[in-house]
Structure 1
Amino acid sequence: MSDTRSASTQPGGNAAKVSFASMIGSAVESYDFFIYGTAAAGWFGKVFFHTTEPIVGILAAFATMAVGFFMRPLGGYLAGHFGDRVGRKAVLLWSLLAMGGATVLIGALPTYEQAGVIAPLLLIFLRMLQGIGFGAEWGGAVLMACEHAPANRRGFFGAVPQIGIPMGLLMANGAFLLSSAFLEGDWVWRAPFLFSVVMVAVGMYIRLGVSESPAFEQAKAENTLVEQPALHALRNDWRKILQLAGARLAETGGYYIATSFMLSYVLLANVAAKENVLWGTMIGSALGLVSHLLFGALSDRIGRKPVFLLGSIFTIAFGIPMFLMINSGVTVMIVAAVAVSLLLSHDPIFAVESSWFSEQFPANVRSSGISLGYNCASLIAGALPFIATAIYSQVGWMGPALLFSSLGVISTVCALKMRETAPAVAGKVESSNPAGLVVSRPAHR
């Protein structure tokens, strides 16, 4: 049974509007999630954990950061289930509220000196809520964009919500640079968290104005919805879900090594000030506002797989050169190393994940399949800054460098096993199947 409502009949402006709304919400959620990584690397080790050893405090802060990642599969499971049962739009709204509320409350938390052990416990609890909200965000956002898009431009429109990630990171690091310049004491890290209340309000206003996904409406009208879609996907598509998780490691794991871990590495190795890494991250993120669209559009022409492999293979090659550039201590080299890592390792992969991953599943379990696959990678990626720090403490910089490259190897192997789905390359353009090359399966009730 195939989708009978063609996305090509949807006005181009509607696809653009939905993609923009998804992008704005993703930017807000990414801002919320990433300010935690920056704060964990630069402030939380001293603020929330009672230790005189810098590396111990950083390890403890990164451990709480990892908790958020560990909760993301739960968020993905919930988002997948409700996204396939009640609609993509509802997931977009509650995920934004959960993420934003937790972020604002982190900004109001007492420190260890003020509340003792209660402070880190509250931090961990709110980080768990952040993880659930962020885990629920991605699947709904990219599906709304991809399922409203014409089949031959799904790569481009699917890449639009992905811009929200570098935009959120750009805003997060910019917020910390501004607060560091104009504020003092705890307000340096509190202000970026508290500012989230304004951003969430804007995101909610924009998202309330978009229409539900035509693919979901079609599956609902044809009675192909599944009562337990997430369980159905786990039972029938678990190999594909694991494959997607492995394919993501170079993008998500490499990203956090190049940004969050690198913030603490330059301090621990006494190489440079952490602001150099922040500037590299900001420049790379600014370039990502354009590169994601270019890579997404390119995937519509030459295929998803070649663009993805550009990023994963570059990750393999760039691990040692990246750390050599950082170790030089030269500001320009440090900034360039981080920016290039984001531009050529992260961006080609992330730009095509939305369209490529979505096209692997039928509409009635699509939200579940991509949300679970996307967020399962977080179980590993969230621990990587902690692991990289521990490895560095034992064997020096070569350990994290090889760890970075090994992620590229895993993603490359997984990507090579995935089927190409871009209509122009796969030769399977079906005007009656707008929301993906895989048609809906009959309902299992």
Structure 2
Amino acid sequence: MSTSATAGRRSVLGSKDRVKTAVAAALGTSVENYDFIAYGTASALYFGAVFFPESDRFVGTLLSFATLAVGFVMRPLGGAVGGYFADKFGRKPVLVTAMIVMGTATFLIGLLPTFEQVGVLAPVLLVIIRMVQGLAFGAEWGGAITMAYEHAPWHRRGMFAAIPQSGNPLGIALASGVFAFSDTLEGSWQWRTPFLLSAVLVVVALIVRSRLSESPEFQEAQATGKTEKNPLLATLTGDWRGILRVIALRVVESFAYYSTATYLLNYITDRHPELRPVALGAITGASILAIAVTFLAGALTDRIGRRPIYIAACTMAILFAFPMYLLTNSARPALVVTVFIIGIGLIHASLTGTQGALLTEQFRTATRTSGASLGYQIAAAIGGFAPLLAAALVGAFGWPGAALLYLGAALIGLTGILLTRETWGRSERERVSRLVAEETAGRATSSTAASPPASLESR
């Protein structure tokens, strides 16, 4: 459909490419998360010894997690740049570019020389590539979610926005599964193999994403002159409250994952090395479960609203903060598996499944990618320090320090959602249901399908 035809006559049933777009976004998101999570796993298991061998074990772990955090620091910049270009020139170019940069950086990590080979140059190169990873990952998320959301049927946007979110645990499962396999290899192939194999995934995702059509909502905004000359500046001056809401809502999810899959993995394997295969397998299994839970959570928000699911997930995180370490400290394989199933498969997945639509709906079309990306990635930058902070707190106070860190993030998330207005309440659901019924029956006109409810278009 041409841009002119699109303007003012978007279908409430979504675009003809809605399913293909959501699946392509999910495929790309899974690759991006594979690349980023592979680094986190390698930081927990290998990089302390490979790139910082002259430090004692505890200091080496802290330095390894510090390089992990560097990537998160770069994510807000990536989100700002990617959001600006996506809101000004289109969502699709950003998705393709971010994928190329991320894939190249990840592949190069697998080729890096070690400290033993080139000395201090090794960690320097690692940090530089990690910064590039952070920029690319920061630019990717907003475009992927926005594309899926804006192509989707209005009454199924929670579900469609959850499809690319399901790519998060899929990427985690792939990375964990590959690390479980590479753990059986010899020497540096244990940590190099997962990074080198990412090239295959990147090529597949690029082929799929290059064939997507542009967002119909962006095309309409462009055709009607409703885009912003400087989307980033407009977001910072006019939508700053939405950015703060997104940060509060996102912090709990970021901490919930990295405190569990990255720090807890290190905590377990450091104290009970024999449990490393169990922990890696548990993360893989929990991530597979999370794919389904993420999708179901998003679909459920279309029926009952976004807030109830998020409130429930934050409450679960609060109640789980101390039990996750009490169960882990038992060193019983079954309980270790249970911790990862609950932490990743249920709590984290429920949060991510709701976020796709909830965070996107805090902003209008013209600043949607900029606002959602910037808030999301600022919170991610904070959450990226979770393993480092947890390790430092455990060193000072024992495991209760890490539990309190997790609890604090969960309380921030609960406060954030309680202060956030419902974006998909009963009135919105009823109005859109009427429009869907009219269009399905062939009675839709340009006036009935011209725009979504005001609560979904602006904050």
- Using the size of structure 1 for normalisation, the TM-score is 0.95
Question: Cα distance 1:414–1:36, how it changes in 2: closer, same or farther (>3 A)?
Answer: same
Does the CA-based 8 Å contact 1:70-1:131 persist in structure 2? Answer: yes
Could you tell me how far apart the structure 2 residues matched to 1:435 and 1:325 are? 46
Shift of 1:347: 1.2
Q: CA deviation at 1:66?
A: 0.1
Q: Which amino acid aligns with 2:12?
A: S
**CA-atom RMSD, angstroms?**
1.8
1:237 Cα shift?
1.6
Q: Deviations over 1:223-281 (max 9, x none)?
A: 11111101210112222202211111111111100110011111333475222221221
Moved more, 338-347 or 111-120: 338-347
Contact 1:302–1:425, Cα closer than 8 Å, also in 2 = no
Match of 1:221 in 2: 223
- Given that residues 359 and 436 in structure 1 are in contact (C-alpha distance below 8 angstroms), is that contact kept between their aligned partners in structure 2? no
Which residue number in structure 1 is paired with residue 192 of structure 2?
190
Q: Is the 8 A contact 2:158 2:299 kept in 1?
A: yes
Separation in structure 1 between the aligned mates of residue 451 and residue 354 of structure 2, nearest angstrom: 19
Q: Please state if 1:211 is matched with 2:229.
A: no
Amino acid at match of 1:439: E
Deviations 1:366-403 (A, max 9, x none): 01010011101022101110000000011111110111
CA drift of 1:323 comes to: 0.7
- Provide structure 2 residue ranges, at least 5 long, that are not aligned to the other structure: 1-5, 436-448
Query: Are 1:4 and 2:4 an aligned pair?
Result: no
Q: Which amino acid aligns with 1:407?
A: A
1:268-279 to 2 correspondences below 5 Å: 268-270=270-272, 273-279=275-281
2:349 aligns with: 347
Matched, 1:140 2:143: yes
- SS at structure 2 position matched to 1:377: helix
- Aligned residues of 1:96 and 1:204 also touching (Cα < 8 A): yes
Structure 1 equivalent of residue 179 of structure 2? 176
User: In 2, are the aligned partners of 1:68 and 1:128 still within 8 Å (CA)?
Assistant: yes
- Other-structure match for 1:33: 36
Distance 1:40 1:245 in 2: 25
Counterpart CA distance in 1 for 2:454 and 2:69 is 33
Give the distance between the partners of 2:176 and 2:456, measured in 1 at CA. Answer: 39
1:71 aligns with 2:57: no
Q: Give, in whole Å, the separation in 2 of the partners of 1:147 and 1:200.
A: 24
> Who is 1:307 aligned against?
309
1:48: how far off? Answer: 0.6
Partner residue, 2:3: none
In structure 1, what is the equivalent of residue 239 of structure 2?
237
Match in the other structure for 2:450? 432
Identity over the aligned pairs, expressed in percent?
Answer: 42
Given candidates 299, 302, 309, the residue that maps to 1:297 is 299
Contact 1:23/1:161, CA 8 A, preserved across alignment: yes
Asked whether the 8 Å contact 1:107–1:194 carries over to 2, the reply is: yes
What CA deviation, in whole Å up to 9, does each residue of 1:269-311 have, x standing for no partner?
Answer: 3475222221221111011111111111110000000011111
Closer, same or farther: CA 191–39 of 1 in aligned 2, 3 Å: same
1:127 aligns with 2:145: no
- How far did 1:440 drift? 6.6
Determine if contact 2:17/2:213 at 8 Å carries over to the other structure.
no
Q: Distance in 2 between matches of 1:340 and 1:377?
A: 22
| Matched length | 438
Distance between the aligned counterparts of 1:73 and 1:435, measured in 2? 30
Task: Determine the C-alpha separation between the residues in 2 that align with 1:162 and 1:218.
Answer: 25
> Counterpart in 1 of 2:289?
287
Change over 3 Å in CA distance of 1:413–1:425 after alignment to 2: farther
Q: Paired residue for 2:402, among 380, 400, 403?
A: 400
Q: Is 2:20 the counterpart of 1:17?
A: yes
One-letter identity of the residue aligned with 1:101: T
SS, match of residue 273 in structure 1: helix
Query: How far apart, CA to CA, are the structure 1 residues paired with 2:208 and 2:454?
Result: 26
Contact 2:428 2:453 in 1 (8 A): no
Instruction: Give the Å deviation of 1:432.
Output: 2.5
Query: Quick one: distance in 2 between partners of 1:235 and 1:343?
Result: 38
